Every structure is written in structure tokens, then in C-alpha cells.
Amino acid sequence: DIIDVGGESSRPGAEPVSAQDEIRRVVPVIQGLKNHLPDTLISIDTSKALVAAAALEAGADLVNDITAGADTAMLATVASYGAGIVLMHMRGQPRTMQENTAYTNVTAEVHAFLALRAEQAIDAGIPRDLVWIDPGIGFGKDDPANVRLLADLPDLAALGHPIVLGVSRKSMIGRLTGAEVDDRLPGSLAALTPTIGLPRVIVRVHDLRPTLQFLKILAAIEEAHQ
């Protein structure tokens, strides 16, 4: 299990937060989690190297960077702590990302971007198995692009890195089904079906128990096919 801690919203239209404010928000939380749940992995959700360093110093194990290392000091910072990193695809910043959602081939663009960023992370000294990739569902993409990326997850898995997937309660599910945010569990689970058969997938969830039960059944079905 991984607990993801963040001090800045990444929702569409979100305003940026200073590094100092992020640090003030996240460091006490990370320290408290480490004291009470010492065996649980802690992820710091930030795109700022200064925040990442403070969080890793406080006990975080992993950096979840929605900008995939846009801060030029990020990769070296993560490497210096021997930590892992999640590299996500996003166009622009949360405040502007939904202003440009046109792609000629969304799968090819995301694949090429993440392949390049992953190699840069490895070159910076982060071990290959600690470099995880995230297609960024809902980040600078319209609904057809999001659905296409889900359908093409095996192509992304071919890069050989663990995939992080965040689809739980996404606005896309609401638009496709008409469901309000608190009634999107069925759609959230359906969006995980493309992960069947993929070797290493980490999913972000809101509804932990039903999602875990769903994934266990998927795993059992996949094992029966082998």
C-alpha cells in the first residue's frame, strides 16, 4: 500500500502554491504517517524539487511528479535520496491543461514523452525499477483521448516500467455516465479492466475495499487463463 500526500491541488484550473506553503502542509503529515505507519510507503505529490527534498528528508519514499521532472533539479534530487519517481504526462499546468486537448495520436505522443522522461530519470541515477510512469488520465486530455489511452495501456506497459493509473471518480466517468462524483465507483472499476494481464500496475483509489476486491477477482481470472 502507498499513501500519497500532496500540498497543492492538481485539478483543472487549480492555482499554484509556493514551495514554502507546500512544505509547511506536507512535512508534518509525512512525519506523522511515518511514526504511526512505519511500514507503509509514502509518496509525495509535488512538482517542485525543494518540496521533494523536504518530504524525502521527512521520510517519504517516492515522488509523484505530475510534470515528469519539469523542475530541472527534480531528477537529481530524487536520485540523491535513492528514492523512486512517478513520471506523468500532462500538457501545460493544471490551471491551463484543458485548453489544449487535441492530439493526432494520443497514445504515440504519451508513449514517446514517457519513454524519453524515463530514460532521463535513469540517466540521472534513479534505478530503472524505481521509475514509474503515468499516462495522466484527465490531465490535458478530452474524453476520447482518455478512453484511447485506457484501451492502449498494453502499449505503455511495453516500455517496461510499472504503470500508475488514476481513474477513480474522474470527471470523465461523470460525463460518460451522468453519475455524480460520489456515485462513480462502478465506472471507476470498469476503467480498471484494461489492466488485466499487465504485469505491474499501481492504481490510485478513493474506495479502497471494493477496489481491492475487484482487483483480486481480476487477478484470479487472469491466473486461471495461464
The total number of structural domains that make up the chain: 1
pLDDT of residue 4: 96
Q: Mark whether 141 is an active-site residue.
A: no
Q: Mark whether 170 is an active-site residue.
A: yes
Residue 177 lies in a domain: no
Q: In what order do the strands lie in the sheet with 84-88?
A: 2-6, 41-45, 62-65, 84-88, 131-134, 163-166, 201-204
Residue 53 lies in a domain: yes
pLDDT digits (tens, 9 = 90+) for 101-139: 889 999 999 999 999 999 999 999 999 999 999 999 999
End-to-end CA distance of the chain: 26
Residue 46 lies in a domain: yes
The pLDDT of 70-83, averaged and rounded, is: 98
The answer to whether residue 97 scores a pLDDT higher than 90 is no
Identify which has the larger pLDDT, 221 or 14. 221
The pLDDT of 14-27, averaged and rounded, is: 93
Q: What percent of the chain has pLDDT over 90?
A: 86
Residue 182 lies in a domain: no
Catalytic pick among 91, 141, 184, 204 = 204
Residue 223 lies in a domain: no
Kindly report the number of other CB atoms within 10 A of residue 213's CB atom. 12
The answer to whether residue 93 scores a pLDDT higher than 90 is no
Residue 180 lies in a domain: no
pLDDT of residue 123: 98
Q: What is the pTM of this model?
A: 0.92
pLDDT digits (tens, 9 = 90+) for 138-157: 999 999 999 999 999 999 99
Give the CATH number for residue 152: 3.20.20.20
Residue 189 lies in a domain: no
Write out the DSSP string of 111-122: HHHHHHHHHHHH
Match 507503509 to its residue by C-alpha cell: 40
pLDDT digits (tens, 9 = 90+) for 184-223: 999 999 999 999 889 899 999 999 999 999 999 998 988 8
Identify which has the larger pLDDT, 14 or 223. 223
The pLDDT of 61-71, averaged and rounded, is: 97
Catalytic pick among 170, 175, 209, 216 = 170
pLDDT of residue 10: 80
pLDDT digits (tens, 9 = 90+) for 1-12: 899 999 998 877
Helix (H) or strand (E) segment spanning residue 215? helix 208-225
Residue 135 lies in a domain: yes
pLDDT digits (tens, 9 = 90+) for 36-61: 999 999 999 999 999 999 999 999 99
Q: In which domain, by residue range, is 62 found?
A: 2-167
The answer to whether residue 18 scores a pLDDT higher than 90 is yes
Rounded CA separation 177/171 (Å): 10
